Amino acid sequence: MKFLTTQWRRISHVGIKDTSNYLANKRIILCNQFTAVVAVNTLCYAGSFVGAGIYTLLPVQLFFLALLGLVFYCNRRGLYAAGKNLFLTASAGIIFFVSLLLTRDAGSYLYYFPLASAVFTLFDYRELRKAVGALVLLFSLIVLLQLPAGYVPPIHIALSGDIKETLFVGGFLVALFINVMCVYHLLRANYLAETQMQEAVHKEEELNQELQT
């Protein structure tokens, strides 16, 4: 357990150089953590397919895993904007691709909702236009996935009911986990902002008292 905790912390802090800006660092940490979660989940999907004797998606999944690996490389080099944009693009791409082939039964489209939450944690208020653009892209992909009832995937992938149920439950749990991380970050950021405001008011009151004496 200690080993896993150490490795999680090590992965989370890839690219952290200046520790003075908490919120900026927290966005980098969350980007790393989200990337790790999506990568592990993609590996689980790949393992489920390979275990079922399905190798069709493996090359594409490996390609997206390579893109997720580049996110860590970008963050390590200080290319944080490129890192988060690559994370969002790769995550949205693999979710769309898998959802397109598995239809709605596997529940892979559920990942779009925590990904939308992640947008507002990875971009600050000054990047609002970029955040809105990312959301428009995500919701456009969700609309495209509203496939007609008679839709037949271009590649036939026969998954058993047990595998579909496992993937659906796994998708729900991962989506819940990422949403909790996003909400915690926003609550923490709000708490820090309130604390800094209270400290500023307290200092101003002390200064006023000193001037009056």
Within-domain flag for 64: yes
Within-domain flag for 184: yes
- Domain carrying residue 123: 21-212
Average pLDDT over residues 180-203: 78
Within-domain flag for 106: yes
Percentage of residues in the chain having pLDDT higher than 70: 88
Within-domain flag for 14: no
Flag whether pLDDT at 75 surpasses 90: yes
Within-domain flag for 98: yes
Percentage of residues in the chain having pLDDT higher than 90: 15
Residue with the bigger pLDDT between 122 and 150: it is 122
pLDDT at 150: 61
Place 157 in a pLDDT band, splitting at 50, 70 and 90: low
Count up the domains in the chain and report the number. 1
Q: Give dist(CA 109, CA 170) in Å, integer.
A: 12
Place 156 in a pLDDT band, splitting at 50, 70 and 90: low
Within-domain flag for 10: no
Within-domain flag for 65: yes
pTM beyond cutoff 0.75:
yes
pLDDT at 116: 87
118, 178 contact by CB (below 8 A): yes
Cβ neighbours, 10 Å, residue 16: 15
Integer CA distances (angstroms), 150 to 98, 105, 155, in order: 18, 14, 15
Q: What burial class does residue 138 get, using C-beta atoms within 10 Å of its C-beta: 0-12 exposed, 13-18 middle, 19+ buried?
A: buried
